[in-house]
Amino acid sequence: MRINLRLILSFLFLIFLSFIFTPSTVNADTCINPSDDPCWVAKTPMPTARRDLGVAADASGKIYAVGGHDGSQFLDTVEVYNPTTDSWITKSPIPYPRNDMGFTFNPVNGKFYLGGGYNNGALNDFYEYDPVADTWTPKAFMLTASVGLRFAAGQNGRIYSIGGGFLDGTYVNNVEEYDPNTNKWTIRSAIPSPRSDAGLVTASNGKMYLIGGGGIKNNTIGFLEDVDEYDPSTDSWNTKSPMSIKRHGVGASLNTEGKIYVIGGSNIDGYTQLVEEYDISTNSWNVKTLFPVAIFAPGQALGEDGKVYVMGGQTMNDPAINSNYAGFIPDLNVPLLKQTSDPWQSQIYDSADRWSPSNPTIRDWGCAMTSAAMVLKYYGINKLPNNTDLNPGTLNTWLNNQPDGYVGDGLTNWIAISRLSKLAKSNNPDFKYDALEFSRIWGENKTQLTDDIKNLRPDILEVPGHFIVGKGINGNTFNINDPYYDRSTLNDGYSNTFSSLGRYIPSNSDLSYIMLVTDPNVQITVKDSSNNPLGDQFIQQPLANDSDNTKTNGPPIKIFYFQKPDDGNYQIFLTSNNRKLYELKIYLYYRDGNVNLQNQKGVIDPSNQNTFNLIFDKQDSNNSSLKKVVTFQSMINDINQLRKLNLIQHDGISKSLISIIKSAEKDYKKGKNKIALLKLNAFELSLNTLRGKGIKEEAYQILLYDVKYLKNNF
């Protein structure tokens, strides 16, 4: 269908300008702010300045720039850009010069298709280009000759020509489908509003998005903000959320996240630097960092390196430019530190000379600690609290001298790193915050990692037996700093996956935490005074020896985290599906980051739960306390379980101890507290007498705590 209406004067004026100006070059490095999203960097410009060119990327991510207008003549030039080498080569020219045509790559058969456009009149010829043979082959003519049409490749291997018009103000709403197998064109459902010079992108969902343009809506000629979604599988159109402003002559392509960047264009106010991102999944738009120049009719494509390249176009001063800008979310400037570097690589890591005497060094085990050092230095913490320079060696020494620096055998305590950031603030004028708050996310959360990098926050990623730093977005993967291996992306050796995410968030607030550490098969439940369960627990797998990954630093452990607990009373419950001794380490961190560390030991089985009462005051550690709850019956249970574990080695001993406890309980219930206390003293005397002589040390310590608790809590 054709609708003949007069083009608005401003539109005619802009087209007139495109034929009378002379070409020049625009090329500037504008990526000076790492928070830009995207960051725009000037790359090697095209050899030929031009606007209204065709731009598309092949399967390898190399970008083909074809045809266009240089301000004085129509071009047949074909130039190919390699993002990896930042270089251009020239290929065979298109058969007939033109601009404002359709051009796209078909990933199904690996061929490019070009058709229509303008050269002293609207064209409808159509060509297939083989990039391997570097040859152009004429194919069946399109059904309609038009200017400003757009091509897109469907997942079905067919090519779609959408929209277009003429310089006299005529627009078409045609949709034509080309089948490479039959070399035939077919008319499909018309677009809702006739238009030309729109953006057209095929998304990963197989649908095509027609964005903006100049055309006719409600019988009025003008610029459009409309977004229409075409589904080739149903041959149907749906209207989506519009752009923030009306514009035509935009650049449009997917970005590395599968969203659509729409760049530049013009409206009645002239050319624009506007960059908007369309999120297909939410049908919403976000304004992004402005393009370096106000631009009209550029070419645009996603390159092999995950960057969006915007090439050529026209400015208000130049009818054709040869600029080539790469847009991307920049890598964070995280310093690369290696656990394999001198002088620290041979330093003993934690207390590894005890649990790994044959290979105890930072080189062997220091991946997590070195990753933490990188993150600290990224945030401007270059001095430790004792004012020594921060590096993996000095950080290892500092952690080793702290009560909470390492957990188990050589596992870096991430909360101790947070405490360090608070203590070191006064020594680091470049550290702009009060502290770094730690939080952990279990599982592969790439959305959170992406958001953190966009917000200038590197994260520590756990991969099997190893830790690395995630610092940049690179297509569908992430750029990393690896403290041991020479690897630069998450695809390098890690299958683009990770199992947990450690986040350090700049903060001026509360560093309080409750952390519990115990055996993997102990179930932990923490409840507040209203009986609400709290916190998060996980099994921390051991480190692998980076020099010999057949070795690990020990068995897994269970860790429980509860961040920023309120002041108040809490209960901790421990259970197990098996009868076992356990050791529970309790780390209580207060608002200022100071830590109180306690150890508790006990015996549990499915019928013998241990309970702890915790009073927590995040402001004052003197007002906090933790006690294992002991009753006469729980003490009897402990004796029975310890006997079954052969930690009390004779039935006679266990029966005698139980007899004393039962007798003391009877007196206590009758109000004879003094007599009950005398019997508990007798129990304690028996323990001391039998220590090492029928009662093993583990049992002795547990029962000694039990009896002292009862004596002190009458």
Pick the last residue of a domain from 462, 479, 507. 507
Same-domain status, 358 and 483: yes
Q: Is residue 561 part of a domain?
A: no
Q: Tell me the average pLDDT across 671-691.
A: 95
Give 220's contacts (C-beta < 8 A, 6+ positions apart): none
Residue 619 in any domain: the answer is: no
Domain of 309: which CATH number?
2.120.10.80
CB neighbours of 458 closer than 8 A, spacing ≥ 6?
332, 334, 374, 375, 378, 452, 469, 470, 471
The pLDDT score that the predictor gives to residue 18 is: 37
Q: Is the pLDDT of residue 381 over 60?
A: yes
**Cα–Cα distance between 430 and 649 in angstroms, integer?**
61
Contact indicator for 491, 478 with CB cutoff of 8 Å: no
Can you tell me the mean pLDDT for 62-69?
Answer: 98
Residues in contact with 8: Cβ distance below 8 Å, sequence separation at least 6, in sequence order: 221, 222, 268
**CA-to-CA separations, 662 to 278, 667, 679, in angstroms, rounded:** 74, 9, 10
Domain count, the chain: 3
Instruction: With a cut of 90, say whether residue 670 has pLDDT above it.
Output: yes
Identify whether the C-beta of residue 79 lies closer than 8 Å to the C-beta of residue 73: no
* pLDDT band, very low/low/confident/very high, at 363 (cuts 50, 70, 90): very high
Residue 289 domain-assigned?
A: yes
Task: Please determine, for residue 55, whether its predicted confidence score (pLDDT) is greater than 60.
Answer: yes
Q: Are residues 374 and 472 in the same domain?
A: yes
- pLDDT at position 53 over 80: yes
> If you search the block for the tokens 């306390």, which residue do you land on?
625
- Asked if residue 38 has a cis previous peptide bond (ω within 30° of 0), the answer is yes
Model confidence over 621-647: pLDDT tens digits? Answer: 888 999 999 999 999 999 999 999 999
Q: Where are the beta strands (DSSP E) in 459-591?
A: 459-463, 466-474, 477-481, 500-507, 513-518, 522-528, 536-540, 544-545, 548-552, 557-563, 568-576, 580-589
Work out the average pLDDT over 402-421.
Answer: 96
- Across the range 657-684, mean pLDDT stands at 95
pLDDT band, residue 31 (cuts 50/70/90): low
Same-domain check for residues 371 and 304: no
Give the mean model confidence (pLDDT) for residues 43-69: 97
pLDDT tens for residues 170-192? 899 999 999 999 999 999 999 99
In this prediction, residue 11 carries a pLDDT of 39
Q: Does the residue 538 lie in any domain?
A: no
Which range among 286-300, 468-482, 518-532 shows the weakest confidence by mean pLDDT? 468-482
666 contact partners, CB below 8 Å, separation of at least 6: none
Q: Residue 376 pLDDT more than 50?
A: yes
Residue 59 shares a structural domain with residue 122:
yes
Q: pLDDT, tens digit, for every residue of 292-344?
A: 999 999 999 999 888 999 999 999 999 999 999 999 887 888 999 999 999 99
Confidence of residue 10 (pLDDT cuts 50, 70, 90): very low
Q: What is the mean pLDDT of the chain?
A: 93
pTM score over 0.75: no
pLDDT the model gives residue 172:
92
| pLDDT at position 169 | 74
Q: Are residues 429 and 305 in the same domain?
A: no
Query: Cα–chain-centroid distance for residue 61?
Result: 23
Domain stops at, among 457, 490, 507: 507
Helices (H), 519-628: none
How many other β-carbons are positioned within 10 Å of the β-carbon of residue 444? 16
Q: Do 324 and 356 have their domain in common?
A: no
Asked if residue 25 has pLDDT above 80, the reply is no
Q: Are residues 448 and 480 in the same domain?
A: yes
Mean pLDDT confidence for 424-442: 94
Give the DSSP H or E segment for 165.
Answer: none
Q: Please state, for a pLDDT cut of 90, what percent of the chain lies above it.
A: 87
Q: What pLDDT does 32 receive? A: 62
Residue 70 resides in a domain? yes
In a domain, 374, yes or no: yes
Distance, in Å, from the CA atom of 239 to the CA atom of 250, rounded to the nearest integer, reads 19
> Which comes out higher in pLDDT, residue 352 or 16?
352
At 684 the three-state DSSP class reads: helix
* pLDDT band, residue 5 (cuts 50/70/90): very low
pLDDT at 37 over 90: no
Percent of the chain beyond pLDDT 70?
A: 95
User: Could you list the residue range(s) of the whole structural domain that residue 401 is in?
Assistant: 352-507
Look at residue 84 and tell me if it is in a domain: yes
Looking at the structure, tell me whether residues 288 and 176 fall in a common domain: yes
Q: Which of 507, 537, 569 is the last residue of a domain?
A: 507
User: Is the confidence at residue 505, as pLDDT, over 60?
Assistant: yes
Tokens coding 530:
């209203």
Q: Which parts of 265-334 are beta strand (E)?
A: 266-267, 270-271, 275-279, 284-287, 299-302, 308-311, 324-328
Give yes or no for residue 453 having a pLDDT over 70.
yes
pLDDT at 168 > cutoff 90: no
Nearest to 75 by CA among 238, 312, 247: 312
Which pLDDT score, from 0 to 100, does residue 685 have?
Answer: 96
Looking at residues 680-696, what average pLDDT do you find? 96
Q: Are residues 452 and 502 in the same domain?
A: yes
Higher pLDDT, 691 or 30: 691
Q: Write down the pLDDT at residue 660.
A: 97
Question: Does 298 lie in the same domain as 377?
Answer: no
Angle at 524 between CA 557 and CA 437, to 5 degrees: 70
- Regarding whether 312 and 432 lie in a shared domain, the answer is no
Q: Could you tell me which residue, 237 or 1, shows the higher pLDDT?
A: 237
> Is 403 among the domain residues?
yes
| Shared domain check, 372 and 457 | yes
